[in-house]
Amino acid sequence: MDQTDATPELLLDATDVAKAYGAVLALRSASLAVRPGEVHALMGANGAGKSTLVKILTGGVRPDHGTILVKGKPFAPRSPTDARRGGIVSVYQEPSLIPDLDVRSNLRLTRTSPESVRHWLAELGLPDLDLTSVVRDLPLAALRIIDLARALAMEPAILMLDEMTAALPANLTERVLEVIGRVKGSAQSVIFISHRMIEIGAVCDRATVLREGSTVGVVEVTERSEDRIVALMLGDIVRRGTVVRSEASAVAARAADATPRLSARNLTVGRELSDVSFDLYPGEVLGVVALEGQGQDELFDVLSGSERPTGGELVVDGQPRSFRHPADAIRAGLVYVPADRAEALLMQRSVRENIALPFTTRFGAWGPIDLRGERKKVEGAISTLQIDTRAAGEVRRLSGGNQQKVTIARWVAGGVRTMLCFDPTRGIDIGTKQQIYQLLRDLAAAGAAVLLYTSELKEVQLACDRAIVIFGGRIVAEIAVADADEATLLRAAYDLRPEELMPEELASAAVAAETADASMVGQP
Amino acid sequence: MSAGQIAVSGRRPDVAAAVVGWARRNTWTVGLFGLLIVFIVVTKILQPNYGAPGVQGLAISILPIAFAAVAQTIVVIGGGIDLSVGPVMALASVTSAVLMKDQSDLFGVGVVIGVLLLGLLVGAINGGLVVVTKVPDIVVTLATSFVWAGTALLILNTPGGGASPWIMAIITGPLGNPWIPKALVVLAILVAVVWVPLRRSRFGLALYAVGSHPLAAFRSGIAVGPTKIVAYALAGFFAALGGLSLTATGGVGAPVPGSYTLQSVAAIVLGGVSLAGGRGGVLGPIIAVIVLALVRTDLFFAGVDPNWSTAIQGAILIGVVMFGSLVAMRKVRA
């Protein structure tokens, strides 16, 4: 393998890049070497540090240390304009066009030639776009194509595409991949970030894999490299094999004629979620696994009553329901624990008020609050969840883990029947995580139904009875907990062809190769 | 919409189409113009002998608030808000009146230029504080509004001073035809000379971009902070013009002007400027100022208690804006 020799012929050479946000180490030691004329994939599971590295390369944040060379010259951009001057132009996940201006004015802002953009628009499959249309009125797919055409027209040394194809219809994706492929052999390069393995395989030459903030390997992309990449993204967890398994008693105990607590029937939300059906039974924890932005946000918004589905129906306890407001969902027994605690809590108010809020604010209950009854329920919930109440006067002074416990306690206090948890352990310490898993198991044992979306694959085996996997807005797999090891889940999440388990020898080979790669990459 | 289909339309180069296109993009302004005509007709019905002198008086009375509305428009398009417009007008008014009193015309010209520069400076201070301290604009300009109001009272604590005769002559009376008030011409010229070129410059684009989507603007390479500071400075400039016109119309300095700040916000909202930033122009707010003034005139002619007329103005504001958003929502749904 020759990919690590740091010759000046590299277009981009980033080594040992690190970035911490407060106490959280987002990037430990990332490196990325891009040759001229190649399409280079940047891969990594959620939280591996991809987006931080992208931000550093586009001037959004500055690294704590590490060296970045573009065309052999030091590169330390302080803004996207700076990055562009240095040779890197990025197309972001969300379009960076000004919604209230027309396309032509947007091009004037970046001093891009409209003729050149028109040329690229034609290449990308939008030859007739009216440049006087206001951006706000154009469909999302068109905006992404315009964004890309504008970036191509700037003729950067390195074009960075961050989840560029995520919202594109298939025919436009094809055109985009075809245009990207033309870079091969030229003086330009492309850094390509995508959750879709098929696209990586179709267009990329090499892939750099990040895990937990470090570069763990660089892989030549071939037909067989998919497994290598997945193994690298997973790391040594593949070897660890046996994980603590939750007692999958609920599934066994489920009677054949039991009524599901909650049934989704062909739920559809715009283009984000299509035809999603599943049953959630009392006494079980059902995991939802998906890469970022596959429609899980919309699913939980619909179930919690924040958004109305465009198609399909919801059946709760055998009754068809439609929610116009979260209050309707709560009345039907569906309560929601969001990942962002700031969305759920009144940060300036006390623990007690926060816990009591859901069951004292019902319209019918207006008037004097039964303070004694409230206190009893609240104290019950606090002790069930073991909330540290030393700073109970203001929720924002609690630790993240304790705040998350409060968001759960507010539903537990009133008696919970169905709990919808969206990544409830994001960003909290390991001890509290354990307590939350235990709590979810206890709730299920007491007859509640729990739907748990998690971005940490190992949580499925720690807390769930089975898991459904969503990709591109559809359920692509249902996996029983016994089979739900991380490799299987990750493969399913990338919508790769089903395999029972990754063969043991392949896994260990991957890990061995990865260790070798990591040490080579680490060499200056 | 089916996958992959993207709405596009060909280019229509002819002028008629351009006008239609402008009207379509500025439906709010066109609708407001219609409302203005309605109120003119109502005025004529209520007071059949309303004529050129009435128009003259109207034009002079709206001049200060029209400048205030232009000032507010610029800041709000850039995604901010300026609660110090009224006090800056007071500051400009008293400064000019104190300095101009019993001085030569030439000195008066110098005073006007000096006061406009003062307006730019005061506005730039507002903007600089907003950008540097990152304190919300509403708080910063509320705070500075007290500072400027207090400074104005220190300079002149009761109406006084004087105005150069030429500055009063510039805005009083008709220009040739008795139906064309000088005040309106002055307004049109100043807005055309200062705002129109800016609107078409790179700064104009940047201003709309910053108000529309600051992150996208940043990524497009715009210096967001400096753009905001320039917007506030321009607002200071137009507020100073408003202050000068207060002095010119009254002949004395006005240390405690009316509720120009809130009236300017009312005018821009009615004028189709989005408080969320990035949308609107100066024509709409100026028409809105005239509409609001006519409402007051009509209610006076109709013999309505002045206190009621204020309440009715408020109701009209809410009604029109609600109607406008309902129409806009329909358009989006369709």
The stretches of A113-220 forming alpha helices (DSSP H) are 114-123, 140-153, 170-181, 197-203
Q: Is the pLDDT of residue B168 over 70?
A: yes
Min Cα separation B2/chain A (Å) = 9
Written as six digits, the tokens of B14 are 């002819």
DSSP helix/strand/coil, A126: coil
The pLDDT score that the predictor gives to residue B331 is: 63
State the number of CA atoms in the 13 A half-sphere of A228 facing the CB: 20
Nearest-CB residue to A109 (from B4, B11, B205): B205
pLDDT values of chain A reduced to their tens digit, one per residue, 524 residues: 444 444 448 999 999 999 987 767 889 999 999 999 999 999 887 668 888 899 999 988 899 999 999 998 999 999 888 999 999 999 987 778 999 999 999 999 988 999 999 999 999 988 889 999 999 888 888 899 999 999 999 999 999 998 888 777 778 888 999 999 988 888 899 999 987 788 888 899 999 999 888 999 999 998 878 888 888 887 764 443 333 344 444 444 455 557 889 999 999 998 889 999 999 999 999 999 988 788 899 999 999 998 899 999 999 988 999 898 888 888 888 999 988 887 888 888 888 888 888 766 655 555 666 777 778 888 888 888 888 777 777 888 777 778 888 888 888 887 888 999 998 887 777 677 888 888 899 899 988 999 999 888 888 888 999 999 999 899 999 998 888 888 888 888 888 765 544 444 444 544 444 444 444 443 43
Which residues are within 8 A (CB) of B201 and not within 5 positions of it... i.e. 6 or more apart?
A: none
Where is B225: in which H helix or E strand?
helix B224-250
| Residues in chain B closer than 8 A to A109 (CB atoms) | 202, 205-206, 209, 217, 220-222
Higher pLDDT, B242 or B102: B242
Of the candidate ranges A503-507, B213-217, B316-320, the one whose mean pLDDT is the lowest: A503-507
B91 confidence band (pLDDT: 50, 70, 90):
very high
One-letter amino acid at A299 equals L
Chain B nearest-CA distance from A195, in A, is 20
Are A98 and B279 within 8 A, CB to CB?
no
The secondary element (H helix, E strand) that includes residue A14 is strand A12-21
What pLDDT score does A254 carry? Answer: 54
Distance from B93 to chain A by nearest Cα, in Å? Answer: 36
Query: Are residues B212 and A96, on separate chains, in Cβ contact within 8 Å?
Result: no
What's the pLDDT tens digit per position in B305-314?
888 888 888 8
Whether residue B50 is predicted with pLDDT greater than 60 in this model: the reply is: yes
Q: Would the CA dihedral through A229, A235, A239, A243 be positive or negative? A: negative
Q: Are A148 and A4 in contact (CB under 8 A)?
A: no
Do the interacting molecules here have an ipTM over 0.95? no
- In the predicted model, what is the mean pLDDT of chain B? 88
What are residue B212's phi and psi, to 5 degrees? -75, -45
CA–CA distance, A398 with A383 (Å, rounded to integer): 16
Q: Residue A487 phi/psi, 5° resolution? A: -65, -45
Amino acid residing at A315:
V
CB contact under 8 A, B205 and A105: yes
- Per-residue DSSP letter, A497: P
AA letter at A296: Q
| pTM (whole model) above 0.80 | no
Does residue A405 belong to the interface with chain B, where contact is any CB pair within 8 Å?
no
- A96–B contact, CB cutoff 8 A: yes
Q: For residue B160, what is the DSSP state? A: B
Q: Which of B88, B19, B28 is nearest to B287 (CA)?
A: B28
Cross-chain CB nearest to A92 (options B9, B10, B219): B219
Question: How far is A492 from chain B, CA to nearest CA, in Å?
Answer: 25
- What are the counts of helices (DSSP H) followed by strands (DSSP E) for chain B? 14, 2
CB neighbourhood size of A516 (10 A): 12
Q: Are B206 and B217 in contact (CB under 8 A)?
A: yes
- B-chain CB neighbours of A132 within 8 Å are 11, 21
Residue with tokens 């219809």: A169
Question: Does the distance separating the beta carbons of B221 and A79 come in below 8 Å?
Answer: yes
In whole angstroms, how far apart are CA A293 and each of A65, A168, A455? 31, 13, 11
Of B4, B25, B219, the CB nearest to A96: B219
A83 near A103, Cβ under 8 Å? no
Full 3-state SS string of B20-87: HHHHHHCHHHHHHHHHHHHHHHHHHHHCCCCCHHHHHHHHHHHHHHHHHHHHHHHHHHCCCCCCCHHH
Question: A170, B205: Cβ pair inside 8 Å?
Answer: no
CA atoms within 13 A on the CB side of A390: 2
**Residue, of A357 and B11, whose pLDDT is higher:** A357
Q: Could you report the per-residue pLDDT of B252-276, keeping only the tens digit for each?
A: 898 886 789 999 999 999 999 988 8
Candidates B1, B6, B14, partner chain A, best to mutate (most A CBs within 10 A): B6
Q: Which of residues 133-172 of A touch B (CB under 8 A)?
A: 133-134, 138-139, 141-142, 169-172
In angstroms, the Cα distances linking A322 to A308, A315, A331, A335 are 8, 9, 12, 15
In A, which residues are within 8 Å of B25 by CB distance? 134
Helix, strand, coil percent content, chain A, rounded in steps of 5? 40, 25, 40
Alpha helices in B78-136 (DSSP H): 85-100, 105-133
3-state class (DSSP) for residue A192: strand
In A230-387, where do the E strands start and end?
A: 262-269, 273-280, 285-290, 311-316, 319-321, 334-337
Q: Say yes or no for a CB contact (<8 Å) between B6 and A84.
A: no
Specify whether the CB–CB gap between A46 and A211 falls below 8 A: no
Positive or negative CA dihedral for A221, A223, A225, A229?
Answer: positive
Q: What is the number of alpha carbons within 13 Å of residue B100 lying toward its C-beta?
A: 31
Min CA distance, B211 vs chain A (Å)?
9
* The pLDDT of residue A176: 92
What 8-state DSSP symbol labels residue B18? H
Q: Please judge whether B208 and A100 are an interchain contact, meaning their C-beta atoms are less than 8 angstroms apart.
A: yes
What residues of chain A lie within 8 A of the CB of B10, using their CB? 128, 130
Please tell me which of the candidates B3, B4, B220 has its beta carbon nearest to residue A98. B220
**Collapsed DSSP state (helix, strand, coil) of residue A208:** strand
Q: Could you tell me which residues come within 8 angstroms of residue A8 by beta carbon, excluding any fewer than 6 positions away?
A: A72
Q: What is the pLDDT of residue A461?
A: 87
Which residues of B fall within a CB distance of 8 Å from A142? 6-7
- Pairwise pLDDT comparison (B189 vs A360), residue with the higher score: B189
Is a pLDDT exceeding 70 seen at residue B13? no
Whether residues A141 and B6 touch (CB distance < 8 A) is answered with yes
